[in-house]
């Protein structure tokens, strides 16, 4: 998960699709049994292997 400092939105892309600013890597999400973002983290992990 990445965060755009310009428009303050989260994205999975390196370049923000909304404002075309640079997206920054944010810290890991806190653990939760429901884990609403787990699917996205697993996709990113699989892409970067």
pLDDT of residue 39: 87
Report the pLDDT averaged over residues 8-30: 88
pLDDT of residue 29: 65
Share of residues in the chain with pLDDT > 70 (%): 96
Q: Does pTM surpass 0.75?
A: no
Domain boundaries, the chain: 1-28
pLDDT of residue 32: 77
CB burial string 8-28: b at 16+ within 10 A, e below: eeeeeeeebeeeeeebeeeee
User: What gap in Å lies between CA 29 and CA 43, rounded to an integer?
Assistant: 14
């Amino acid at each position: 998960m990445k965060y755009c400092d310009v428009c303050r939105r989260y994205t999975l892309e390196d370049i923000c699709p909304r404002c075309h600013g640079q997206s920054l890597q944010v810290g890991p999400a806190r653990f939760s049994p429901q884990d609403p973002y787990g699917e996205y983290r697993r996709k990113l992990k699989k892409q970067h292997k």
